Structure 1
Amino acid sequence: MQTLFSTDGVHPRDSFKRWWETLFDLGANLQQQRLDDGLFSGKIDVITIGSVAMHRVSQTALRSEATGEMFRDSAHEGMVLAILQLAGAATFDQDGRNSVQRPGDFVVSDQRPVVRTTSTGSTCLSIQLPRERLENVLGSTRLYTALTVAADLASATLVSTFFRELIRVQHKLPPDAAARMASAGTDLIVASIAERLAREIPRPLHGTVVVQRAKAYVEANLGDTTLDPPQLAAAVGVSLRRLQELFHGHGQHISDWIWQRRLKTAAKRLTDPGVRHLPIGTLAYGCGFASQAHFARRFKGQYGMTPSAYRAASLFTAS
C-alpha cells in the first residue's frame, strides 16, 4: 500500500489539523473530535485493486460524525464502505443501530448521517464498494448498516483473510487477475452479510433473508456450470419447494434469476476493456455457461444481438 499521509515528522501542534485537512482533501465530510489528551497520531495508506479502492487508517481515539453525505465529490456517488477492523476497537451508529467492532469484525456504512468512535491504536481497512452490487442481492443498505459482522462468523474470517492476503500479493497478479480477485472479495462480503442477516432474524422476515442468502450464493458461484435450483436450495438449507415458494413471493423464478444474473454479468464483462483480450467462450464459461453456443443463443434472446456484436458495439461506443 502507498502511504498517503502520516503524522510522523509533523509537529505535534499541527498533527490533528493536518489530519483533518487530509481527510477533507479526500472528500470526507466529517466533523472530528479528539477523545484523549495525548499526542495525536494517524496514518492513511491507500491501494486500488481492480475497481476496488481501499484505505488503511490508523489513528488515536476520535469521534467522527457525518451529518449529511459522508463524501462531497461525485467520485463516491453510489458507493458504500465495508469497514474491516484490524486492530483496536470502534463503535458505529447509523440508521438507528449502534454496534461495536473488534479485530476481525466488519461493518457497512452508507452515505447517510453516521457517528463512529475509535480507540487509541485503532486500525481499520475501508473497502469502497458499489451500493448496487450489495442491494441487488441484499436489499436496501438500511437493513444492515452498522450491523457488526463478527469474526466468529466463518465467512467474516474469510473476508478478513482474503483482503489481507490480496493486498499482500496484489503486486504479483496481472491486472485482469487482480480485478477478478477484487470482485471475488466483494462477493465474499455480500455472502457474509447475508449470513449475518440470517442470525436472530424476526420470523416474518426469515423468508426474505433466505432469498437474500440464496442470491448471495448465486453471485458467489456464477461460474459453477452445475448450479441449479436443487443445489441452491441445499446450499441455503431449505427444501426446493420452499425456496420456489419464497422466490415466487418476490415475483421471481429461481432458474430465471440464475440465468439473468449470468447474462447480466456476461454482458458487463463483454464491455470491460480490461478483459477484451479474453475469448468470448472463456467469458461464457466463467459465467456458468456450459458451451459457447448455449451462451450465444441465450444472450441473443436477451439482448437482441450476438455476444461478439455486443462487444464490438461497446468498444466502438467507448472509442
Structure 2
Amino acid sequence: METLFVFDKRNYQDCRTAFRGPRNREYYTGDYSIEPGAVIDVRAECKAVGSSSIIRLRSRTRQSFSRTWAHIREDATDVAVLCFVKLGRLRVSHQRGETLAQAGDFILTKSMTPFSVECEPGKEGLLELLHLTVPMHLLRRVLCHDVTTGFCVPAAGRNFAIAERILADLFEDTGEVKEHVQQLLVDTALSVLAEAIKDHESCVPQRQTLADKRLQDVLRFIETHLSDPKLSIVMVAKGCGISPRYLLLLLKLHGTLFSTLVWDKRLKTAEQWLATSGAGDAAISEIAYRVGFKSPAHFSRMFKREFKLSPRQYRAAAAGTPARKAGALVVDGGDSRH
C-alpha cells in the first residue's frame, strides 16, 4: 500500500489540492475541505490493483467533499466508489435527496452525477472507511441496471462479508499475492458486491428521461468504438438511431462538444493503460492505435499537451522507474484515474 495523504494542524489547508495523492491520480476532481478544530488527524492509504484502488480513510476530524457539474465538465472521470462504513457516518446529498450512512452500512457514489458528502467521526471519535474505486465500465459488466448515487444499505449478509474480507485482505497484502491474482480477487469482490446489491429491493433502476437514455447510448457507443479512427458524429448518430443534429443537442445539454468528448476519452483511456502496464505488456504505438489515433506521433503530441509528459515519461513516472533506466525524465503527474 502507499500513503495518499496525511493532514494535521500544520498542513490541513493543503488538502484542497493534495487529496488526490502524490501522482494526482487516485481521486477525481472536487472541493475537499477539513474542518478546523482542536484535533486534526486525517490519513488515507491506497492499494492500487489494475485500474481500481482500495482505499482506507481514517480521521478524527470532520471533512466535506463536493462534486458539481463544473467539476464533471472539467474532469469526466467515470468511476464508482463502493464504500464500507466501518466507524462514524457519512451524510450524502445528491439529486434524489439525502442519504445517511452509518457504521455497518454500504454506500455507493458515482463521479458522473453531482453530490456532496459530510464525513463525521462516531462516538469513538474516529471515522474509518474502506472503499473500492472502480471504473464504471467494469461495474456495468457485473451490474446490468443502473444504481443511483446515494444507494445505501446495511452491509449485512454473507455476500457483503465476503467482498469486504477480500478487499481488506488485499489492502493488507505486503506483496505476497501476485498482480494477476490481485486483479482476479478484485474482480471477484466486485461480482460478489453486485450480487449483494441486486438482493436489495431498494436497488431499482433509475428513472430516466428519454434524453438521458439516449445520452447513455451515445456514451456507450463511443466507448465501444473508441479504437476506430473514423469515429464521427454521423457514425455515432447512425449507430444510436438518432440524427446528427439531435446528437449535437444531447452533447450540448451535457456541456461538451463531440470532438472534446472523444479526444478526452481517448487520452484518459490511454492514460489508464500507461499507468497500469509495462513496456513488455503493450508498446506505446499499440496503445495509440487501440484508442483510435492514426499515428503514434500524433498520440504523443496530444498526450504531452494534456498531461505535460510524453507517454514514455508518464509510464515511467507511474511505475516509479528511475530516469536512467526508462530513458525519460520521471516527474509525478497525469490526470486522475478515479
Q: What TM-score do you get using the length of structure 2 for normalisation?
A: 0.52
**Contact 1:149–1:156, Cα closer than 8 Å, also in 2:** no
Give, as a single letter, the amino acid of the residue that structure 2 aligns with 1:134. Answer: L
Cα distance in 2 for partners of 1:110, 1:84 equals: 15
**Contact 2:92–2:115, Cα closer than 8 Å, also in 1:** yes
1:4 paired with 2:4, answer yes
**Contact 2:82–2:133, Cα closer than 8 Å, also in 1:** yes
1:180 paired with 2:184, answer yes
Cα distance in 2 for partners of 1:139, 1:70 equals: 27
Give, as a single letter, the amino acid of the residue that structure 2 aligns with 1:178. Answer: Q
SS at match of 1:180: helix
Pick from 128, 131, 134 the counterpart of residue 136 of structure 2: 131
Q: 1:200 to 1:50 in 2, by over 3 A?
A: closer
Q: How does 1:166-245 map to 2 (within 5 A)?
A: 166-169=170-173, 171-196=175-200, 198-199=201-202
Q: 1:78 to 1:201 in 2, by over 3 A?
A: closer
- Residue in 2 aligned with 1:147? 151
SS at match of 2:44: strand
Cα offset, 1:184, TM superposition: 0.9
The C-alpha deviation readout for 1:271-310, integer Å capped at 9, x for no partner, is x989x99xxxxxxxxxxxxxxxxxxxxxxxxxxxxxxxxx
Q: How does 1:41-80 map to 2 (within 5 A)?
A: 41-59=41-59, 60-68=61-69, 77-80=77-80
The C-alpha deviation readout for 1:99-124, integer Å capped at 9, x for no partner, is 22223422111122111111132121
Give, as a single letter, the amino acid of the residue that structure 2 aligns with 1:18. Answer: D
**Contact 1:138–1:190, Cα closer than 8 Å, also in 2:** yes
Cα offset, 1:17, TM superposition: 0.9
**Contact 1:64–1:117, Cα closer than 8 Å, also in 2:** yes
Runs of 4 or more, structure 1, over 4 Å off, are 33-36, 69-74, 199-202
1:23 paired with 2:19, answer yes
1:122 paired with 2:127, answer yes
Cα distance in 2 for partners of 1:192, 1:69 equals: 33
Cα offset, 1:38, TM superposition: 2.4
Give, as a single letter, the amino acid of the residue that structure 1 aligns with 2:102. Answer: R
Q: 1:69 to 1:123 in 2, by over 3 A?
A: farther
Cα offset, 1:44, TM superposition: 1.6
- Residue in 2 aligned with 1:85? 85
Q: 1:41 to 1:92 in 2, by over 3 A?
A: same
1:165 paired with 2:169, answer yes
The C-alpha deviation readout for 1:57-82, integer Å capped at 9, x for no partner, is 223112322122666876x7232211
Cα distance in 1 for partners of 2:81, 2:57 equals: 13
Percent identical: 13
Give, as a single letter, the amino acid of the residue that structure 2 aligns with 1:114. Answer: F
Q: 1:73 to 1:176 in 2, by over 3 A?
A: farther
Q: 1:20 to 1:139 in 2, by over 3 A?
A: same
Q: 1:186 to 1:200 in 2, by over 3 A?
A: closer
Q: 1:80 to 1:69 in 2, by over 3 A?
A: farther
Give, as a single letter, the amino acid of the residue that structure 2 aligns with 1:181. Answer: L
Q: What TM-score do you get using the length of structure 1 for normalisation?
A: 0.54
Q: 1:139 to 1:181 in 2, by over 3 A?
A: closer
Ranked by relative contact order (alpha carbons within 8 Å, sequence separation 6 or more), the top structure is 2
Structure 1: runs of 5 or more not aligned: 203-271, 278-313
Cα offset, 1:91, TM superposition: 1.7
Structure 2: runs of 5 or more not aligned: 206-275, 291-295, 297-338
Cα distance in 1 for partners of 2:14, 2:155 equals: 33
Cα offset, 1:98, TM superposition: 2.2
> How big is the alpha-carbon RMSD for the aligned residues of Structure 1 and Structure 2?
3.6
Q: 1:31 to 1:199 in 2, by over 3 A?
A: closer
**Contact 2:5–2:43, Cα closer than 8 Å, also in 1:** yes
